[in-house]
Structures are given as structure tokens and as C-alpha cells.
Amino acid sequence: NAGVTQTPKFQVLKTGQSMTLQCAQDMNHEYMSWYRQDPGMGLRLIHYSVGAGITDQGEVPNGYNVSRSTTEDFPLRLLSAAPSQTSVYFCASSTETAGTDTQYFGPGTRLTVL
Amino acid sequence: TQLLEQSPQFLSIQEGENLTVYCNSSSVFSSLQWYRQEPGEGPVLLVTVVTGGEVKKLKRLTFQFGDARKDSSLHITAAQPGDTGLYLCAGAPQNTGFQKLVFGTGTRLLVSP
């Protein structure tokens, strides 16, 4: 099993550009989520999904869009990148919930917005 | 607003020493988890506690959930260099079910031989 995969591993954008961070899991997990990790802030939840076709906002959703058309994939879209979105982004998945089941994290995408 | 505060932020100790990391909040959590993160990788779950007062042991690591479910601690006995990493606590706030996790600020541990 590949677990949770994320692409790209590194990305540099200019302010105003758009891009999609890809996330896929092969464990047939219903729950998927996106976090950003900034120094001194821990991880903050951006968006999450409890199943195909169902998404909801987390703690810091502004500037990001998500969709969940399949169980396996949960892409994160930045519509118009801003320097404040410079961060490390992690995708995670678990069987049904984040708080009781084991969440498996991907290796992360390091994004720099100039 | 950071719901979960961890202390200390940094800890540098010698192999064989004991240490305790704290995770505190004024909010009640339905569950509390501890993760360890290595540089360049995603966090890896160590333990989940759901009952107030619950104590779980994982080899040399002991985790405790506070009686009121507002705080937690991680105690490492006889630390080893392999314990080096970023330790993160994460809780599911009582009013949001188990779908949203709030992470603490993290404790960076360095264990020297």
C-alpha cells in the first residue's frame, strides 16, 4: 500500500497564481483532511471531508477550495496565491473520524508564495 | 485562538534522562491524541485517549488524560536519541464531535547521546 500520497513535494508560486495540491489515499478511508503547518502554530485544519461528495470548512478555510468526487482523491485548490499561504501542507486520512481513528498523514507539500 | 498550549516549546536533554511534556487548555475535549513528527515527514499517531483520567503506556512513554478532559501529559522514561522529534498533542473539541482536530503548538525534543 502506498498510504497517503501528495504531489508536488515542493512548489514556488508568484502572488496571484493558482494551483492544485494533489492528495490520494489507497486505504478506502472515508475521512480526509488538509492541514497547514506554520512555525510556532502547530497544524491548523483547512478543510475536511467525511466521504465522497461531502466537504466542510476547518479552522482556516479562506483562500482554499476543495472537492471530493471520489473516495481516493481530495485535491486542495489555491485560487489566487498570497504570501500568507506560504506553508507546509499536509493531507491526512482515517477510517471515519479524526478524533478516535488513526489519521495517516502524507509527506507534505512545501509551498512558497513570492 | 490557540486552544491547546504545549510546554515546554523546546527541550534538550541527555540520553537516560526523564521528561514530561504538557498539553493544556481551558476547553473540554472528547478525545486527545499525541503525535510525533520527524523532519520532512508528516506526523505519526502515538496514542489516543478518550476517558478522563485515562493512562496509556507505550513502552517508555506514558500518556495521561486529565480528569476534566482539559489537559494531557506525555512522560518519557530514560529518553533515547531515537525519541528526538516534534511532539504534538491534538484534541477533538467537545462541541464539534470527532471530525475536527485542534493541534497544540508542539514541543521539540532533542536527546543527545
Minimum mean pLDDT among A2-6, A71-75, B96-100: which range? B96-100
Minimum mean pLDDT among A39-43, A56-60, B25-29: which range? A39-43
DSSP string of A72-101, one letter each residue:
SB--EEESS--GGG-EEEEEEEESS-SSSS
DSSP letter (8 states) at residue A102:
P
By C-alpha distance, the chain A residue nearest B106 is: A42
**Could you tell me if B100 lies within 8 Å of chain A, comparing CB atoms?**
yes
The alpha-carbon gap from B81 to the nearest alpha carbon of chain A, in Å, equals 22
Question: In chain B, what percentage of residues exceed pLDDT 70?
Answer: 98
| A79 pLDDT tier (thresholds 50, 70, 90) | very high
Please give the grid coordinates belonging to residue B100: 475536527
User: Which helix or strand (DSSP H or E) is residue A44 part of?
Assistant: strand A42-51
pLDDT at residue A40, rounded to an integer: 77
A→B interface, C-beta within 8 Å: 4, 31, 33, 35, 40-45, 48, 50, 56, 58-59, 90, 92, 97-100, 102-103, 105-108
| A97 pLDDT tier (thresholds 50, 70, 90) | confident
The alpha-carbon gap from A36 to the nearest alpha carbon of chain B, in Å, equals 11
Question: In chain A, what percentage of residues exceed pLDDT 70?
Answer: 99
**Which residues are registered as beta bridge partners of A111?**
A11, A87
